[in-house]
Amino acid sequence: MTDPEILLTSLEESVLTITLNRPKVNAFDFKLIAALQAAFRQAERNDQARCVLLTGAGDNFSAGQDVNVFHHAEEISYREHLSRTYNPLILQIRRLEKPVLAAVNGAVSGAALGIALACDLRIASDRARFVVGFAGIGLAPDSAVSLLLPALIGLGRAAEFTFSNLPISADQALAWGLVNRLVPAEQLNQQATMIARLLAQGPVHAMGLAKRSFNKAVLGNLEQVLDYEGYLQDIASKNQEHKEGVQAFIEKRPAKFT
């Protein structure tokens, strides 16, 4: 069972809707990550769930990892953390042989961007914005962002928005293929649900096999990339840039990288 406070789930017309619900920005702590992993296990085991719709409550999809969790934690290996949290979650999404649709209702950044990119399809609100986010706290991308973002928008664009940490607007995301559809914010839930129900009525087994084929053809090194991202995050986490980035984030000021 998932925690009804931080993660909402409902099954209707063969669509399992999963809603991140951790105010204010649906940032991930250990409890929310575990709940989301459990929800995807439920999706895999439940034959009545033929499509998954993933979204966020409120005005944000998710801000990614809650930086405060690590700021107050004891010494932690980022590689070990990723191996228990985001890496298996990304693999769950990609290995689920059912369509997974992300409805991006606002800002999405960091590890949450990787989760959204791991979904098969993305429909976004015209208020959505996509931020790589890691450079802001002196880290390299994880959660398969280093693989999925260049695959979708090209290496040059991925490098630009990773290094600059500037947001990708909803219009840019549509033009570059980062999202499949863009709709007015007030229509997002309705349109996403309609698409999810249409997918659920289709040949889900064949879709699952197609997804397996896409994984082999395009994402054949996904596991290795996830592990290597963790290795690099361990290096980055010990650098002064990361310490300054986190301190600046906590103090709500621009970071001073030297």
The encoded tokens of residue 93 equal 């999404």
Give Cβ neighbours of residue 127 (< 8 Å, ≥ 6 apart).
59, 105, 106, 170, 185
Distance, CA of 135 to CA of 161 (rounded, Å): 10
Please give the domain boundaries of the chain with CATH numbers for all domains.
7-185 (3.90.226.10)
Confidence of residue 75 (pLDDT cuts 50, 70, 90): confident
Write the CA distances from 166 to 19, 132, 163, 169, integer angstroms.
26, 8, 8, 9
CA atoms lying within 13 Å on the CB side of residue 170: 17
Looking at residue 41, its pLDDT comes to 98
SS (H, E, C) 190-204: HHHHHHHHHHHCCCH
Q: What is the pLDDT of residues 184-208, one digit of tens each?
A: 999 999 999 999 999 999 999 999 9
Q: What is the pLDDT of residues 10-34, one digit of tens each?
A: 999 999 999 999 999 999 999 999 9
Which pTM was predicted? 0.96
| Average pLDDT rounded to a whole number, residues 118-127 | 98
Write the CA distances from 135 to 46, 217, 255, integer angstroms.
39, 30, 10
Distance, CA of 90 to CA of 87 (rounded, Å): 5
Q: Count the Cβ atoms, other than its own, within 10 Å of residue 217.
A: 8
The amino acid present at 65, given as its one-letter code, is Q
